[in-house]
A and B are shown apart, each in its own frame.
Chain A
Amino acid sequence: MISSSKVSFIRILLILCLSSAVAAAKTLEGRLHFTDGLAFNLTSRIVLNHGEIATYSRADGSFALYNVPPGIHQLDVFSSVYHFPQIKIQLLEDESADPKCLEYLYPGAKKQFAKYPLVLTAMAKYEYFEPRRGFSIFSLLKNPMFLMMGVSVILMFWMPKMMEGLDPEEREQMKKQMELQKDPSKMLGQLFSGMTGTEEIQSKKKM
């Protein structure tokens, strides 16, 4: 069982340790720029650990996060226009040691080492809006209704010309078939007669 006096002693020790950690707080510096190297001149909010410590970028793209305690931190740039990579920073207690930085280009990307002072690039612009597709003749051709309509129009102009090219006998036969099509019972009769051979007998009789 731990006595209360020992607990108090430990708490005092912890407070002293914490205060020394505060004294070892550092300033993290870096800069933002566009892909072409120009300074990122839009003041953007830069946060550590989702807002625990925050600052803004200056007009020349540089920034500084003050009073950052030793430990592992995550740096994000809050911009609704451009996408910036995330940086994980390990800040050591040794004041002379540079922070160790890992860069994640996008969520889920493989980590890669980043130099200090930090340099973050505005990698891409967020696209919030769906581009409206302009009129294109090919988009019409993808439409099945338009295709059906198109085929019907083509047949409408091509069928009469096709009829003109036919022999008179073939034309007569087509006319008879079209007349039969008007009466479904005759059409069915012709179909079955073809199967049973009654048509051949009738034609032989005629001969």
Chain B
Amino acid sequence: MKFWVFLWVVAPFSSALFEEEAGQLDFHIATTGHGPVQVAYAIHDAVITSNPDSCYTASRNIGDGSLLWRHNVCSSTTGKGHAMAVGSKYVTTLDDNGILRAWHAENGLLAWDVVVVSPNCTPRLGVVTEKNEDYVVASCGGNSYSYFHMATGALAPEKSGRITDVKPVTFCAEAKLLLNFQGSALKVWDSANGNQDSLAVEWEASSETDPIALVTFLKCSATVAHVLISTQRGTTKVIAIEEKEITTLWQAEEGLSTISVGSLVDASHYVGGEGTSHDLLSLPNRLQSQWKAITSIFTTERSDRRNHLFGFVKIAILMSTSANRIWALDTIDRNIRYQIDLPEANWHRLVHGGPGTGYHGDHGDYLALSNIRNEQLEWICWDGPTGKLLQKGAIQLKSPVAQIIPVETSSTDCRQGALILTQDQSIHSIPSSDEVTIPESGLYTHVVDKENSIKTLLLRGTSRLTMGSTVFDGEKIISLAYPPRQESVQSPCSVMGDDSLLLKYLNPHLAVFITEKVSSYKDDEMVSAMFQVNRKPVGATDESDSMEVSVPSTKPNLFINVVDTVSGQVLYRVSHANAAKFPKPQAVISENWIYYTFGNSKTRRSELGVLSLYEGMIGSKGVTAFTSPEYSSTFSSLDARDSKPVVLSKLYSLAKPVSALGVTTSRSGISSRRLLLATVDGQITGVDRKLVDPRRPLGQLKDSEKKEGLRPYTELIPIVPYMTINYNQTVESAHTVISASTDLESQSLVLAFGGPDIFFARTSPARGFDLLPDSFNRPLLSLVVAALLVTVLVVDRMAAKKMKKQTWL
């Protein structure tokens, strides 16, 4: 009961959507989740697709490509692949844990499931038809087969019929067409008997860098044939061939399910030519914009002026390492503006911004680095909003890359550069050493070495000075977080309820390293416990017994380390016991706050740790007209006295485990920030910062704390549905949540990706105080104003008449 009352109290603080607004300020891209299609089979008006190396099976409508259903068919987080077989009404999947499932092909509902064998299965499936009944044949490797009736799941005796599996259909007897492909070209042959009689159509289905991997007929009749084309990088197309004319019905980018890194770049082109955003947000321009909005009601033209005026137009630059591709997604019209194919490489990195710029950069240029082989690095530089290629090149390194430092260049072509620091401590510049140089004062950087140590360096000219190093002995770095570059901070201090000030610790060279204990035989409690002689339970000792009773202690296995990346020293370290490996611990830094989450294997809950860092405090009488405290405006990471912050911390519990963390950002940092939690069940929920404030008192509130708006500490942070920005849509397995500001202080843009779904939304954490809502009734307002004007004129005339009459009398 108390929980629901608490929700009722918290709910008014939420800025929930109205139902008709859903889909207006956000969009959701659902992919099949399996990447490039390797298996495709048509049933009625749907095509069932999958990839044996992934855990997903999905169904799309052949006509318009809409996703009908999608399932993760693996039974555990360690699952890596599955096999699929299709009958007349059912789709069966067998995962590598030996679980066989049958799904209704039409709607994806689970019909039945059964265990074939124990885990460690190499799944193989086939279908055999006997007396018009489909039977699925399952095998986990070897020559052992199990037969199940596809409709009911009942175990059946061995069948003598021919076992078929899903293979591409390349011959259409009705249309007398044969398909094959070469590179990126689709070839359609006239074929009476399955031979290549004559070439009917040759069509460039994709680009040279993205050759075709699979073609298959989906539907086929004498007049029209539907063909599915899948490329190596995950582009799926369905085309219709009618009288040798090819029409593309739809196209989907399945590679979007493997996005590893993303960034939002501004693409708002100011209307009316040149002008700063300050001019365009002036009153006359805003009034003009409102007038255009009113007149646009009577036209069918959609006004994009507001989106450009307020900086809502962003391009999401999304890179997939496994698909070797970059996509640019327009967040307004939700289309892919362009895509760039990268060479196949060991890794790719996206570089944007620099030490003196914001995270989303002052310019829109991007750099992509690809490590091909033997330390050969290829790079391209392009304009983010348009996709125009600016420069490209390649460099040969002598040793592996240790760190990539984004810098701005003096070049007029490509404004984004990078300094590549290799393990042998040599520096390479991209685009070139003339355009990218190390500043005379030097450049501080750090290198993460051997997964458990950090070394900080000062690069100055040709010298490489080691500033410091930290080794996490017996631990392994599993996650790290950096503060957002040049985040807008509205105030350097927090005002408390008693008018005293807490000075925020705003160190731009902060980083959070999450480490976990690596077990070795030295630390193995069970081993040492087995060799303890005369071990007695607690309380069982005699007076004469001199042995100490050992009580099993829970040693911490997760450590949160706040490190200064200039000096290399650990500013703060906190440890936690019983930390679970799944989901992976996450951390995010915003202003002087650090949020981190991890799973607790003992309580089976997720925990949210919040650290707020302060330089110090000034009392309520400390700053007056006549007195001011001693304060230095400069800060040195190398001064041990100054660099250590005062840390306030609190631990909260969450009802659901978290797969990604994010924080909303705003233009000037005035709007209250909201913590975004992407939970494993596919929800992205906002939590107000006041709810997770480390200063929430444990006991009763004092007057000053009430004045500040603090609430008593409660362990559990509720997940409020009103605060869920993706409402009833599922964003499965998101591993990154990023945020960007707009030209309006109240509006913040959020992008979540990493799994089969991509979600983008425009939110207002402090409600839209500087923006009329889209649903604002402008016609009604105009009508009321006009009616009032008419009323005033009429009443004025009536009053004048009455006065005249009275005077006359």
A to B contact number (C-beta, < 8 Å): 127
Contact partner of B531 (CB less than 8 A), chosen from A2, A43, A128, A129, is A2
Chain B, residues 70-107, CB within 8 Å of chain A (1/0): the string is 01101111000000000000000000011101001000
Q: Does B132 contact A (CB under 8 A)?
A: no
CA distance in complex: A22, B117 (Å): 13
CA distance in complex: A72, B600 (Å): 13
A58-B111, A78-B681, A109-B3 known; A53 and B22 CB under 8 Å? no
CA distance in complex: A57, B77 (Å): 18
B718: chain A residues at CB < 8 Å are 107
Contact B728 A128 (CB under 8 A): yes
Q: Which of B74, B109, B656 has the most CB of A within 10 A?
A: B109
Contact B113 A56 (CB under 8 A): yes
Contact A7 B527 (CB under 8 A): yes
Interface residues on chain A, number (Cβ under 8 Å): 44
Q: Does B9 contact A (CB under 8 A)?
A: no
Q: Does B119 contact A (CB under 8 A)?
A: yes
Stretch at the interface among A44-52, A166-174, A175-183, A190-198: A44-52
CA distance in complex: A16, B151 (Å): 40
CA distance in complex: A66, B2 (Å): 36
Q: Does A64 contact B (CB under 8 A)?
A: yes
Contact A129 B18 (CB under 8 A): yes
Q: Which of B76, B104, B115, B527 has the most CB of A within 10 A?
A: B76
Chain A, residues 56-75, CB within 8 Å of chain B (1/0): the string is 11110000101100001110
CA distance in complex: A14, B529 (Å): 14
Contact B604 A74 (CB under 8 A): yes
Contact partner of A66 (CB less than 8 A), chosen from B16, B108, B115, B526, is B115
Contact B115 A67 (CB under 8 A): yes
Contact A132 B18 (CB under 8 A): yes
Which residues of chain B in 1-46 are interfacial with respect to chain A, using CB atoms and an 8 Å cutoff?
2-4, 16-20, 22
A64: chain B residues at CB < 8 Å are 113
Contact partner of A130 (CB less than 8 A), chosen from B17, B98, B580, B599, is B17
Contact B72 A54 (CB under 8 A): yes
A14: chain B residues at CB < 8 Å are 526
Contact partner of B108 (CB less than 8 A), chosen from A43, A109, A130, A132, is A43
Contact B716 A50 (CB under 8 A): no
Contact A80 B3 (CB under 8 A): no
In the assembled complex, the CB of A122 is this many whole angstroms from the nearest CB of chain B, namely: 14
Contact partner of A49 (CB less than 8 A), chosen from B110, B119, B604, B729, is B604
A58-B111, A107-B716 known; A45 and B722 CB under 8 Å? no
Q: Does A108 contact B (CB under 8 A)?
A: yes
Contact A81 B75 (CB under 8 A): no
A7-B521, A107-B655 known; A78 and B682 CB under 8 Å? yes
CA distance in complex: A19, B719 (Å): 39
B109: chain A residues at CB < 8 Å are 41, 43, 58-59
A128: chain B residues at CB < 8 Å are 16-17, 721-722, 724, 727-728
In the assembled complex, the CB of B22 is this many whole angstroms from the nearest CB of chain A, namely: 7
Q: Does B582 contact A (CB under 8 A)?
A: yes
A43-B108, A50-B599, A128-B17 known; A58 and B724 CB under 8 Å? no
Q: Does B530 contact A (CB under 8 A)?
A: yes
Q: Does A96 contact B (CB under 8 A)?
A: no
In the assembled complex, the CB of A132 is this many whole angstroms from the nearest CB of chain B, namely: 5
Q: Does B468 contact A (CB under 8 A)?
A: no
Q: Does B646 contact A (CB under 8 A)?
A: no
Contact A2 B527 (CB under 8 A): yes
A55: chain B residues at CB < 8 Å are 75, 99, 113
Contact A52 B2 (CB under 8 A): no
B582: chain A residues at CB < 8 Å are 49-52
CA distance in complex: A76, B604 (Å): 11
Which residues of chain A in 10-59 are interfacial with respect to chain B, using CB atoms and an 8 Å cutoff?
10, 14, 22, 25, 27, 41, 43, 45, 49-59
Q: Does B683 contact A (CB under 8 A)?
A: yes
Q: Does A106 contact B (CB under 8 A)?
A: yes
B730: chain A residues at CB < 8 Å are 80
Contact A50 B3 (CB under 8 A): no
Q: Which residue of A lies closest to B55 (CB)?
A: A54
CA distance in complex: A70, B583 (Å): 21
In the assembled complex, the CB of B54 is this many whole angstroms from the nearest CB of chain A, namely: 15
A129: chain B residues at CB < 8 Å are 16-19, 22, 727
CA distance in complex: A58, B90 (Å): 14
Contact A127 B3 (CB under 8 A): no
Q: Which residue of A lies closest to B21 (CB)?
A: A129
Contact B75 A53 (CB under 8 A): yes
Q: Which residue of A lies closest to B107 (CB)?
A: A43
Contact partner of A43 (CB less than 8 A), chosen from B110, B530, B656, is B110
Q: Which of A27, A55, A67 has the most CB of B within 10 A?
A: A67
CA distance in complex: A88, B605 (Å): 11
Q: Which residue of A lies closest to B528 (CB)?
A: A2
Q: Which residue of A lies closest to B727 (CB)?
A: A128
In the assembled complex, the CB of B150 is this many whole angstroms from the nearest CB of chain A, namely: 15
A78: chain B residues at CB < 8 Å are 680-682
Contact B119 A80 (CB under 8 A): no
Contact A80 B728 (CB under 8 A): yes
Contact A126 B728 (CB under 8 A): yes
Q: Which residue of B lies closest to A81 (CB)?
A: B728
CA distance in complex: A51, B78 (Å): 10
Contact A10 B527 (CB under 8 A): yes
Which residues of chain A in 83-126 are interfacial with respect to chain B, using CB atoms and an 8 Å cutoff?
88, 106-109, 126
B716: chain A residues at CB < 8 Å are 107-108
A2: chain B residues at CB < 8 Å are 521, 527-528, 531
Q: Which residue of B lies closest to A77 (CB)?
A: B681
B680: chain A residues at CB < 8 Å are 50-51, 78
**What 16 additional pairs, Cβ within 8 angstroms, besides A54-B76, A67-B115?**
A10-B527, A43-B71, A50-B680, A51-B583, A51-B657, A55-B99, A56-B113, A58-B111, A59-B104, A76-B656, A78-B682, A80-B683, A80-B730, A128-B17, A128-B722, A128-B724
Residues of B within 8 A of A (CB): 2-4, 16-20, 22, 71-72, 74-77, 97-99, 101, 104, 108-113, 115, 118-119, 521, 526-528, 530-531, 580, 582-583, 599, 604, 606, 655-657, 680-683, 716, 718-719, 721-722, 724, 727-730
Q: What 7 A-B pairs are tightest by C-beta distance, nearest first?
A: A107-B655, A128-B727, A130-B16, A74-B604, A78-B681, A129-B19, A126-B721
Residues of A within 8 A of B (CB): 2, 6-7, 10, 14, 22, 25, 27, 41, 43, 45, 49-59, 64, 66-67, 72-74, 76, 78-81, 88, 106-109, 126-130, 132
A-B residue pairs in contact (CB < 8 Å), sample of 12: A7-B521, A22-B119, A25-B118, A43-B109, A43-B110, A50-B606, A54-B72, A67-B75, A73-B604, A80-B683, A106-B3, A128-B722
